[in-house]
Amino acid sequence: MESMLELERARAREARFDALARAVAKPLHRYLLRRADADAVDDILAETMLVLWRRLEDVPGLGKGPVTDLDGVLPWCYGVARGCLSNARRADGRRLRLVERLTRTAPPPMPGEADHPELQAALGTLGALDREVVLLWAWEGLTPREIAEVTGLTANAVSIRLHRAKKKLAALLDRKNDDKAGHEMGEGRSNR
Amino acid sequence: MNDEELLARLRAIDPARTSDAPQPDINRLLEATMTADTTVRTSPRTSDRPRRPPLLAAAAAAVLTVGAGITWGVTATRDTPPAVAAPLVLTVQQDTGGGPATACAELDVTTLRQYTTAFEGTATSIDGDQVTLRVDHWYRGEDASTVRLDNVRLDNTHEGQLESFGQEFAVGQTYLVYAEDGKVPVCYGDAEATPKLRSLYDRAYGQ
């Protein structure tokens, strides 16, 4: 019976999605916690899951049965989360412009911005894409090839951006360290 | 500053480390995703951030629409009234110890036909001896969208021997269950949905 075959296919698809969702839900949740407003995270995660469900056939390296290669599927899934996050930000931006007629030029504030102001400021000097590349390296622990898959850049482009961004951050933070040291030793820098 | 120091400083401000946000409820997420699919697809996007529909509404919608393209094609000829919100509760009968259950004969069409409740469902949660199933297809009987099986024991001990009469349930797996008058017989045997078992149900209930 034709409908029996459809039934089996649908079952198999559900099972594949089930396995994928269980493997990636927590990493995706952390990814969004790091970048979105706390009250938006659950909605964006749900939206991400919906896209994964619809585009299940596009997930690279997803076979039957449990997910055996998390590192194979995770970058692609981060990419989907990133897209949903930027949709949400755009929707926010539209709402603000409509309601308050302000243009947002500053990047959205990162969670926990009050602590470690120098590092936050240093990150703020990076372009949005460079910042994302650095954070995917530092927080998600991805390799340049994996970062390429998340962002749509080539692995080469990622390596170059990552290298430059790290140098820039290091230089800024070193300078801040020197400034602080000089201040403590009373070398007469008048910031007061 | 070298890479390692930079890495350490960046990790120190990782919001995920210090966040007290609860872990995502994966079962709810899965449920909402697979039932939300059709409703989200038909409604136009507004500039408001799309919200995932509340669970009950999603379950009702799944009954009325072709939910995720699964079983409802088979039941298209039936007039399915809207889903009842409360789950149907079925109690699995236990062998009272008077002896091993009457030898569990292999299930056949004649036996199945005697039961007035039969469905295919996917286990969504297991809590002690209760298994909750989302009904994917009713062969005969009710119209509830979820069924709760009470009194599910993974195995029974008879004279010191561990014997497995019933089906072991796992979340995410699909099962075919039959019952009479709110009771699932002791010897309901292998309930895991296979093409062979489905074809048996199809033949028994004439679909």
pLDDT in tens, B145-199: 888 988 886 544 444 333 334 567 778 888 888 888 888 876 665 588 877 888 8
Q: How far apart are CA A123 and CA B187, in angstroms?
A: 65
pLDDT score recorded for residue A39: 86
Instruction: Could you list the beta-strand ranges (E) of chain B.
Output: 88-92, 117-127, 130-140, 146-150, 156-158, 161-163, 174-179, 183-184
pLDDT in tens, B48-58: 444 444 444 44
Starting at the earlier edge strand, list the strands of the sheet with B174-179: B174-179, B117-127, B130-140, B146-150, B88-92, B183-184
- pLDDT tier for residue A154 given thresholds of 50, 70 and 90: very high
What percentage of chain B reaches a pLDDT higher than 70? 59
Q: Are A166 and B3 in contact (CB under 8 A)?
A: yes
Residues B172 and B130 in one domain: yes
CA distances from A60 to A19, A69, B78 (A): 14, 10, 39
What percentage of chain A reaches a pLDDT higher than 70? 82
Q: Between β-strands B161-163 and B156-158, what pairing exists: parallel, antiparallel or unpaired? A: antiparallel
Phi/psi region, residue B174 (left: phi>0; alpha: psi -120 to 50; beta: rest), is beta
Residue A26 parent element (H or E): helix A2-35
Statement: residue A54 has pLDDT above 70:
yes
Q: Are A43 and B32 in contact (CB under 8 A)?
A: no
Does residue B11 lie in a domain region? no
Nearest to A49 among B3, B9, B33 (CB): B33
Query: Residue B139 phi/psi, 5° resolution?
Result: -85, -45
Residues B58 and B136 in one domain: no
pLDDT in tens, B127-137: 878 888 888 88
pLDDT in tens, A60-77: 878 766 777 888 899 999
CA distances from B144 to B55, B60, B89, B118, B167 (A): 15, 10, 10, 12, 22
Does residue B5 lie in a domain region? no
Q: Which two tokens stand for residue B175?
A: 């099962």
The class (CATH top level) of A115-192 is mainly alpha
SS3 of residue B45 by DSSP: coil
Q: Spell out which residues of chain A touch residue B24, defining contact as CB-CB under 8 Å.
A: 25-26, 29, 42, 45
Q: Spell out which residues of chain B touch residue A92, defining contact as CB-CB under 8 Å.
A: 49
Residues B102 and B148 in one domain: yes
pLDDT score recorded for residue B153: 66
Contacts of A19 (CB under 8 A, 6+ apart): A65, A66, A67
Angle subtended at Cα B197 by Cα B194 and Cα B200, rounded to the nearest 5 degrees:
150
Highest mean pLDDT among A31-35, A68-72, B21-25, B109-113: A31-35
Does residue B180 lie in a domain region? yes
Residues B70 and B99 in one domain: no
Residues B129 and B172 in one domain: yes
Q: Give the residue, B1 or A20, on which the prediction is more confident.
A: A20
Residues B71 and B90 in one domain: no
What's the whole-number mean pLDDT along residues A24-31? 96
Residues B143 and B187 in one domain: yes
Tell if the CB–CB gap between A21 and B29 is shorter than 8 Å. Answer: yes
Q: How far apart are CA A11 and CA A17, in angstroms?
A: 10
Residues B75 and B90 in one domain: no
Q: Per-residue DSSP letters for A33-91?
A: HHHS-GGGHHHHHHHHHHHHHHTGGGSTT--SSS---HHHHHHHHHHHHHHHHHHHHHH
pLDDT score recorded for residue B56: 42
What percentage of chain A reaches a pLDDT higher than 90? 55
pLDDT score recorded for residue B73: 32
Q: Are A66 and A20 in contact (CB under 8 A)?
A: no
What's the whole-number mean pLDDT along residues A124-133? 94
Does residue B17 lie in a domain region? no
- pLDDT tier for residue A113 given thresholds of 50, 70 and 90: low
Residue pointed to by tokens 């079952």: A11
Q: What b/e sequence results for B160-174 when a residue is b if at least 16 CB atoms lie within 10 Å of its CB, and e otherwise?
A: eeeeebbbebebbbb
Does residue B59 lie in a domain region? yes
What's the whole-number mean pLDDT along residues A110-132? 82
Find the closest chain A residue to B197 by CA distance.
A4
Q: Spell out which residues of chain B touch residue A25, defining contact as CB-CB under 8 Å.
A: 24, 26, 29
Q: Are A108 and A89 in contact (CB under 8 A)?
A: yes
What's the whole-number mean pLDDT along residues A4-10? 87
pLDDT in tens, B80-96: 444 445 788 888 876 65
Residues B107 and B204 in one domain: yes
Residues B114 and B136 in one domain: yes
Does residue B31 lie in a domain region? yes
Q: Which of A28, A30, A39, A89 should one mutate to test binding to chain B, selecting the residue with the greatest count of B CBs within 10 A?
A: A30
* Burial of B175 from C-beta contacts in 10 A (0-12 / 13-18 / 19+): buried
Tell if the CB–CB gap between A3 and B74 is shorter than 8 Å. Answer: yes
Q: How many residues does chain B have?
A: 207
Q: Which domain covers residue B68, as residue numbers?
A: 24-40+50-79
* H-helix segments, chain B: 3-12, 15-18, 26-42, 55-64, 109-113, 195-204
Does residue B1 lie in a domain region? no
Q: Are B56 and B118 in contact (CB under 8 A)?
A: no
Find the closest chain B residue to A137 by CA distance.
B7
Tell if the CB–CB gap between A49 and B122 is shorter than 8 Å. Answer: no
> Domain locations in chain A?
1-105, 115-192
What's the whole-number mean pLDDT along residues B96-120? 70
**What is chain B's mean pLDDT, rounded?**
69
What percentage of chain B reaches a pLDDT higher than 90? 9
Does residue B19 lie in a domain region? no
Residues B57 and B71 in one domain: yes
Q: Give the residue, A41 or B111, on which the prediction is more confident.
A: A41
Q: How far apart are CA B142 and CA B178, in angstroms?
A: 12
Residues B59 and B88 in one domain: no
pLDDT score recorded for residue B164: 39
> At B105, which CATH number?
2.40.50
To the question of domain A1-105 being in CATH 1.10.1740.10, the answer is yes
Q: Are B29 and A21 in contact (CB under 8 A)?
A: yes
Overall number of domains in chain B: 2
